[in-house]
Structure 1
Amino acid sequence: MQLRPLPAFADNYIWTLAYDDGTALVVDPGEAAPVLEAARGGLKPVAVLLTHHHPDHVGGVEELLQAWPELAVFAPEDTRIRHATKTVREGDAVVVGPWRFRVLEIPGHTLSHVAFHGEGIVFCGDTLFSLGCGRLFEGSPAQMWASLTKLAALPPQTRVCCGHEYTVNNSRFACVVEPGNLALRRRSEEALAMRERGLPTLPSTLADELAANPFLRVDAPEVRQSLRTRLGRDPADSVEAFAELRRWKDGFTS
């Protein structure tokens, strides 16, 4: 299998997972053009997985259905998502040809956000980023923390396929929060070098994120110390620690 991120817009990725014959899953096609271009190189989409309703993740589906009318489109149950051929919920199995994915409901960024876990991969949309996490447009901090905790419980070798190339920007904030984290420093340097060569920093692995992503490390001593300094007191619990970290990131300028 070949796992490939197709760049879209300014910093989106449309993920494809393909076999040698080109048969492929397409994840979060915010625009059709990158997929159509890949198809000219032999990609043969058979199904689309959608993680949430935002236009930069679903906007290309209609045009792809015009090109491939038999495409199966799997999406969370949300009236804002058009063209879904099957809606999915927590625990559902998505089986397409040789692939099998389990659906995880991960609200926070949006209320209906889902992830697809299988084949050693998690397609997590805009919930978990490398060295960061998504903004809370609809959900609560408690919901988002529960979703991140659910993703963190996946096998450490799981490849994390998120929706945006944010790693370098996220690293600047992460290094302020946890400056003594050597794994974070290594990941930051690696990401910067990859972007300078025009390479994607993704996928990462869940092990990488557990070692370096402050949003999965809100209970780590140095992260807690940074939050204690910021708040003037200890956070009451992990949810408050996460909420304050997310507020800090929302206003952060490097």
Structure 2
Amino acid sequence: MTEHLSFHDRVTVEVTDGVADVRLDRPDKLNAMDGPLFDALVEAADTLAGDTSLRAVVLSGNGRAWCAGLDFSGFQAMAGAGDGATTSKLGQVAEGRITHHAQQAVWGWHELPVPVIAAVHGIAYGAGAQLAIGCDVRIMHPDVRFALLEIRWGITPDMTGTQLLPRLVGPDVAKELIWTGREVNGDEALRIGLATHVDDEPRQAALELARTIASKNPHAIRAGKRLVDAAAVGDLAAGFALEREEIGALIGTPNQVEAVTAFFEKRD
């Protein structure tokens, strides 16, 4: 039996035999994140967290891309219409969480008690790159275009990426990727530890891996995730708070405004 769920017309979930097939479903915008997509990601993760029969999750994007990052045009339109509530919500830390809403869109998947496998194809920029980083396993297409583009806007990644990326690639490579915003393809991602596997059909490969995991003792699978995560954990609450503090100090400064202006004027 398959259970079908939809969240804000942005994320679909199909659960079959303990495997959740979760898809970002905004293909006309390359799955770029707007307010409803942030809400959908948080709510979908919260819903799956309460499913005791769940054994594995595959997260992918419909259409030509995994996720192109923030939908700046959407947020600009909301600002122009006087809708400050959505943007304000992204920066709010909910009671009982160590993250604000935007961080939780990534962290919610990382903290699920079961394995979460990202099937990454096309573009994975900015917020989309951080969403992939938050998953337990990343299966990438060879031609994927992965980049932390926040430096183009004169800011740093602020959706858990600064805390989770160094665990995958080491602090030196993490800093270089954050400082330059350069693109990484699938082969390089595999070489530096960003990708777990590279496959021409990442979603199918991810589903096959999820089904293999789902066939094992679910208690052992969950215990294995807890143990490995515990070995890697520092003070994440403090790290996430520092992300929020640093981004707040950067936004609106002359250099940050100039970076945005240069981007729109297509200056280096």
Indicate the TM-score class for this superposition, using the shorter chain for normalisation. Answer: 0.3 to 0.5
Point out the structure with the larger strand share. 1
Q: Which has the higher contact order (CA 8 A, sep 6+)?
A: 2
With normalisation by structure 1, the TM-score equals 0.33
Point out the structure with the larger helix share. 2
With normalisation by structure 2, the TM-score equals 0.32
